């Protein structure tokens, strides 16, 4: 018994020793929570170090912005991170409303002539990239099932309404994911009114095989042939297509929706000054290039070289966009969507 | 009480156990309880989507628990009570689904049985939609019947064969024998196993998140509140909702089934040949177990194939590049192994000491210890993760980004399994040994060391293995606790999946599986016959 307890005691003491020695000093560094892919995040950190001499420590990297933002909330009484990078602006607005962020407007915005409409009107988050919504279809299945019917490949949102696609479209569920909510809102803004937008969703519904829980759920399902066509974030789709050689075709329909990728300084950040420096750095051409090259995202700063296969941003036609309205109507629009789809 | 005063060491142990349970089980749960506001509670609970999810969850509990219990019983009966050929292999194969790291196992169902699946489309020419409650039913049955089988096997083995032998001598045969003797004796154990399975079905999020399609259950809704909307309150509330049925099941199990065990274990199994059953029955059991074993093999084969081909589902060219990738992720894999070994060891140690105290000593808060040791089973992993994240990332207990926070959370999440096994083991050891030694003047410690420890080595290692496997394959507990400093493999699997690197995710999942199996093999080699999983 004594031995057993001794082991248990030693064990717990050893564990608390793991915990000790964590004291942070005010050195030249910034601690990052990233809602981006692994490669982009680590390259950004390395480039920041090179540009400023500050160490950028990636404390957390999860693609899903919700999970990262939720961590910021549960750890709020003793914040560890300085910045949150990545994730659409709604996640940042949500954090700002909860009092988890501090205001910062980078001087680079003005210096570089970046569109101020891409920044938080309340001054909390900084928009540093854009992502547009795309259509994707399985090339083989299209050739087998749709082409013989005399239909052209899907290039517009209305193409998805054709009865030929009945049960062959993968959509996403706004009730489960903020990204999918933006995709739904895109229909409303694109068509000019709530009524027209929801009318589109009503017409699309019979064609939908599944509303995936995540915003990009259509990418694997269409690639594996579970359905013929779907929609997802263009940058994520392009990235996965290139890296995995997926048998899909990516199309940016005219009048498509988009998201603004945000970055913000956390309230109580241990290295707030370095955090602001990091935000300035994100708006630099160097950071934009890294982000475009690895993540296929459009930097807000113009004139940055884009990887092959990515259409220039100017060519992608965006629907008029009202972020504030999208943010204000979350509950109402989700409810309307649920009543149409019965989800 | 008087005796405790005489043995200060025992008092220290009790205090230690009780305070650990308060700090690492009760306190985080309370923090989650307090997180959402009352208004948020009402908003979530009146939302039709979540009401539907609650009904769906209950529906799946009934469906998947029944099928898992049924399949589990057939397997257990075949393995423990018959001479069906290949039964040893059936047992081995049925251990596989115990290792099911998130995402990838469910994913291989799609590969095998989806619209473009190898079996359904390529082999049978069918166009089947696996997404929905039926696909989930299949996946959950496969995932949870092994636990039921292992527990029931223990129960069946402990029924003295002499009873069946006597029945047979009196003229009963085949099914009558089963119906009148074997099953009635096994019933409490069967019910106990079914209830434990049902709690796990409720908390299951890995299967439904991949293949339930538009059919939503509470565990995935809670997860998506976090992943999709960063809504900690919503996730906390939905997890609390999940606690109501799992808690009721748990209480039911403790109060009703827990007391109705007819099984008496003498420690000496009688060697009587009981393996004679009718040849029709024999071949039926053989066919039944073969079908399910084949299904399991196919699913895991798909997983391994995923690690060795270019593009899972569209490009079957073989490749080794995903497997090579694992070596660049040795940190995560090593962390997973080390943390899970420590958590498994800590969990087994802690739960054995707690089980010893509860079954051998009378003390203040004894019922509290009993209850709190079982409680973590009923908690969805994400619930505990959120609790630890709120409770232990600030002074006085600040474990942010440490190995300790991961090890502790995994350790306490798993104490229930070991504790159950421990209680069972201590009940089997007749207290008369204990009393005799005590009357001769031996202290509690000496009794524990010289009588109890040798007798509970087997259950201790079973508890260790089970906790270890659960620890190394869980994502939901650690997703709120991992940082780049204490990252584990399941966390990387999640990132790889959301990044679209399915081949790498499959390779990493396979390497975890191999490690878990190696540990199991080493334990088996080291302990031989004494090593039994889940003998309750």
Buried b or exposed e, range A117-142, using 16+ CB within 10 angstroms: ebbbeeebbbbbbbbbbbbbbbeebb
Using a CB-CB cut-off of 8 Å, the residues of chain B touching A338 are 48-49
For chain B positions 238-277, those within 8 Å of chain A (CB to CB) are none
Contact in structure between B114 and A224 (CB atoms under 8 Å): yes
Alpha carbon A81 to chain centroid distance? 19
Looking at CA atoms only, how far is residue A4 from chain B in angstroms? 7
User: Of B232, B349, B503, which is closest to A7 when you measure between CB atoms?
Assistant: B349
What would the pLDDT profile of B275-323 be if each residue is shown by its tens digit?
A: 667 788 889 999 999 999 999 999 999 999 999 998 877 888 899 999 9
Both B176 and B199 in one domain: the answer is: yes
Q: Are residues B86 and B136 in the same domain?
A: yes
CB neighbours of residue A107 within 10 Å: 10
Q: Is B298 exposed, middle or buried (0-12, 13-18, 19+ CB in 10 A)?
A: middle
Q: What does the pLDDT average to over B245-262?
A: 71
Q: Do B314 and A224 touch (CB under 8 A)?
A: yes
Predicted local distance difference test score (pLDDT) of residue B32: 92
The minimal CB distance from B404 to the residues A18, A180, A247 is found for A18
**Do B243 and B349 fall into the same domain?**
no
Of A5, A57, A223, the CB nearest to B314: A223
Decide which of B319, B337, B361 is a domain's last residue: B319
A138 beta partners? A248
Last residue of a domain, one of B255, B288, B319: B319
Same domain, B452 and B384: yes
pLDDT on residue A3: 58
Reduced to 3 states (helix: H, G, I; strand: E, B; else coil), residue A83 is strand
**ipTM score:** 0.88
Lowest mean pLDDT among A268-282, B142-156, B215-229, B418-432: B418-432
What are B488-530's pLDDT values in tens digits?
A: 999 999 999 888 898 999 999 999 999 988 988 888 787 766 5
Same domain assignment for residues B302 and B369: no
d(CA A218, CA A223): 8
Percent of chain A with pLDDT over 90: 78
Region A56-63 average pLDDT: 95
Looking at the predicted structure, is the pLDDT value of residue B327 above 50?
Answer: yes
pLDDT at residue B267 above 50? no
When divided into structural domains, chain B yields a total of: 2
CATH class of A30-130+259-310: alpha beta
DSSP B448: I
Question: Percentage of residues in chain B with pLDDT exceeding 70?
Answer: 93
Mean pLDDT of chain A: 90
pTM comes to 0.89
Query: What are the tokens at B90?
Result: 């059936």
A216: nearest CA partner in chain B:
B498
Contacts of B484 in chain A (CB under 8 A): 57-61
Q: Same domain for B136 and B7?
A: no
CA distance A238 to chain B (A): 11
Q: Domain check: are B247 and B220 in the same one?
A: yes
Q: Which residue has the higher pLDDT, A197 or A302?
A: A197
Beta-bridged to residue A32, according to DSSP, are A58, A83
Which CATH number characterizes residue B451's domain? 1.10.3720.10
Q: How confident is the model at residue B263 (pLDDT cuts 50, 70, 90)?
A: very low
Q: Please list, in sequence order, all residues whose beta carbon lies within 8 angstroms of the beta carbon of residue A324, skipping any fewer than 6 positions away.
A: A121
Secondary structure of residue B182 in the 3-state scheme: helix
With an 8 Å Cβ cutoff, are B227 and A220 in contact?
A: no
Tell me the per-residue pLDDT of B169-212, one tens digit each, with 9 for 90 and over.
Answer: 887 777 787 788 777 777 777 887 888 889 889 988 889 998 99
Nearest CB to A15: which of B111, B349, B407? B407
Q: Measure the CA dihedral B352/B353/B356/B357, to 10°.
A: -150
Domain limits at B262? Answer: 36-319
Q: Residue B268 — very low, low, confident or very high, per pLDDT cuts 50/70/90?
A: very low
pLDDT of B250: 78
Contact: A1, B448; criterion CB under 8 Å: yes
Q: CA distances (Å), B188 to each of B229, B254, B325, in order?
A: 43, 12, 48
- When mean pLDDT is compared across B332-346, B399-413, B414-428, B475-489, the lowest value belongs to B414-428
Q: How far is CA A29 from CA A25, A32, A125, A270, B394, in A?
A: 10, 10, 21, 10, 21
Same domain for B291 and B346, yes or no, is no
Beta-carbon contacts below 8 Å between A and B: 200
Q: Does B353 touch chain A (CB under 8 A)?
A: yes
CATH number of A132-258+324-341: 3.40.190.10
Which positions in chain A touch B389 (Cβ < 8 Å)? Answer: 71, 74-75
Is the model more confident about B465 or about B136? B136
User: Are residues B328 and B404 both part of a single domain?
Assistant: yes
Last residue of a domain, one of B293, B319, B345: B319
Give the model's confidence band at A197: pLDDT under 50 very low, under 70 low, under 90 confident, else very high.
Answer: very high
Whether residue B154 sits in one domain with residue B243: yes
In this prediction, residue A232 carries a pLDDT of: 96
Sorted by where each begins, the domain ranges of chain A are: 30-130+259-310, 132-258+324-341
**CB–CB of A67 and B311 under 8 A?**
no
**Contact call for A243 and B501, based on CB within 8 A:** yes
Residues B283 and B379 in one domain: no
Q: Nearest CB to A243: which of B213, B482, B500?
A: B500
CATH topology of A30-130+259-310 equal to that of A132-258+324-341?
yes
Q: What are the pLDDT digits (tens) for B66-86?
A: 999 999 999 998 988 888 889
Instruction: Let me know: does B319 contact B116? Beta carbons within 8 Å.
Output: no
């Amino acid at each position: 018994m004594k031995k057993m307890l001794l082991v248990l005691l030693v064990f717990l003491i050893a564990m608390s020793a793991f915990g000790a020695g964590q004291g942070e000093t005010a050195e030249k560094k910034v601690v990052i929570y990233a809602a981006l892919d692994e490669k982009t995040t680590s390259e950004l950190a390395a480039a920041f170090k090179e540009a400023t001499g500050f160490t950028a420590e990636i404390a957390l990297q999860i693609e899903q912005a919700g999970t990262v933002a939720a961590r910021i909330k549960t750890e709020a009484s003793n914040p560890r991170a300085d910045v949150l990078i990545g994730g659409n602006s709604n996640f940042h607005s949500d954090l700002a409303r909860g009092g988890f962020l501090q205001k910062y407007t980078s001087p680079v915005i003005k210096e570089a002539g970046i569109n101020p409409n891409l920044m938080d009107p309340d001054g909390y988050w900084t928009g540093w990239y854009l992502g547009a919504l795309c259509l994707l279809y399985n090339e083989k299945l299209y050739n087998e099932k749709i082409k013989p019917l005399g239909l052209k490949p899907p290039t517009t949102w209305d193409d998805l309404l054709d009865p030929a696609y009945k049960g062959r479209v993968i959509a996403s569920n706004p009730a489960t994911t903020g990204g999918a909510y933006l995709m739904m809102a895109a229909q409303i803004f694109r068509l000019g009114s709530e009524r027209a937008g929801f009318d589109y969703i009503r017409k699309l519904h019979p064609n939908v095989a599944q509303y995936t829980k995540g915003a990009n759920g259509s990418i694997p399902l269409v690639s594996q042939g579970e359905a013929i066509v779907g929609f997802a974030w263009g940058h994520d789709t392009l990235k996965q297509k290139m890296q995995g050689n997926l048998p899909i075709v990516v199309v940016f329909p005219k009048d498509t929706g988009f998201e603004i990728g945000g970055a913000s300084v956390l309230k109580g950040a241990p290295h707030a000054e370095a955090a602001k420096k990091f935000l300035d750095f994100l708006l630099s051409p160097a950071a934009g290039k890294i982000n475009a090259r690895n993540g296929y995202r459009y930097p807000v700063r113009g004139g940055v070289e884009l990887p092959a296969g990515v259409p220039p941003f100017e060519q992608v036609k965006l629907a008029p966009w009202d972020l504030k309205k999208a943010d204000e109507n979350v509950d109402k629009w989700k409810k309307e969507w649920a009543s149409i789809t019965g989800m | 009480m008087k005796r405790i005063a005489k043995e200060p060491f025992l008092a220290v142990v009790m205090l230690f156990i009780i305070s650990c349970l308060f700090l690492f089980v009760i306190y985080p749960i309370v923090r989650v309880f307090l997180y959402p506001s009352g208004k948020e509670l009402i908003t979530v609970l009146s939302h039709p989507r979540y009401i539907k999810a609650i009904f769906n969850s209950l529906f799946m509990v009934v469906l998947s628990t029944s099928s898992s219990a049924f399949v589990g019983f057939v397997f257990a009966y075949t393995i423990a009570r018959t001479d069906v050929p290949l039964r040893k292999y059936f047992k081995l194969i049925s251990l596989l689904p115990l290792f099911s790291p998130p995402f990838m196992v469910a994913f291989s169902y799609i590969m095998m049985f989806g619209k473009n699946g190898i079996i359904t489309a390529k082999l049978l020419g069918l166009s089947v939609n696996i997404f929905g409650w039926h696909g989930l039913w299949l996946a959950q049955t496969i995932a949870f019947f092994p636990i039921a089988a292992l527990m029931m096997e223990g129960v069946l083995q402990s029924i003295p064969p002499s009873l069946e032998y006597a029945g047979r001598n009196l003229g009963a045969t085949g099914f009558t024998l089963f119906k009148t003797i074997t099953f009635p004796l096994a019933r409490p154990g069967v019910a106990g196993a079914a209830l434990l399975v049902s709690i796990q079905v409720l908390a299951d999020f890995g299967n439904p998140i991949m293949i339930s399609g538009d059919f939503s259950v509470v565990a995935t809704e809670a997860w998506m509140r976090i992943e999709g909307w960063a809504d900690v309150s919503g996730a906390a509330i939905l997890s609390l909702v999940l606690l109501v049925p799992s808690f009721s099941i748990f209480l039911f199990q403790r109060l009703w089934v827990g007391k109705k065990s007819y099984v008496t274990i003498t420690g000496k199994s009688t060697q009587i040949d009981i393996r004679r059953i009718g040849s029709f029955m024999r071949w039926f059991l053989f066919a039944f177990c073969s079908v399910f074993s084949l299904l399991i093999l196919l699913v895991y084969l798909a997983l391994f194939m995923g690690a060795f081909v270019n593009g899972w589902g569209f490009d079957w060219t073989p490749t080794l590049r995903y497997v090579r990738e694992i070596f660049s992720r040795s940190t995560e894999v090593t962390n997973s192994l080390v943390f899970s070994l420590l958590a498994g060891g800590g969990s087994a140690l802690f739960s054995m000491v707690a089980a010893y105290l509860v079954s051998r000593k009378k003390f203040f808060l004894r019922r509290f210890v009993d209850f709190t040791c079982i409680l973590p089973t009923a908690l969805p992993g994400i619930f505990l993760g959120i609790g630890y994240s709120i409770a232990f990332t600030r002074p006085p207990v600040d474990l942010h980004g440490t190995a300790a926070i991961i090890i502790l959370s995994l350790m306490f999440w798993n104490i229930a399994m070991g504790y159950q096994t421990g209680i069972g083991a201590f009940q089997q050891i007749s207290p008369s040994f204990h009393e005799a030694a005590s009357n001769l003047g031996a202290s509690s410690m000496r009794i524990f060391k010289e009588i109890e420890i040798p007798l509970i080595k087997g259950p201790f290692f079973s508890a260790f293995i089970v906790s270890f496997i659960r620890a190394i394959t869980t994502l939901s507990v650690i997703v709120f606790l991992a940082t780049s400093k204490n990252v584990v493999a399941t966390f990387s699997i999640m990132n790889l999946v959301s990044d679209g690197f399915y081949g790498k995710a499959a390779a990493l999942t396979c390497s975890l599986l191999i490690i878990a199996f190696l540990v199991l093999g080493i334990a088996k080699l080291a302990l031989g016959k004494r090593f039994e999983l889940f003998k309750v």
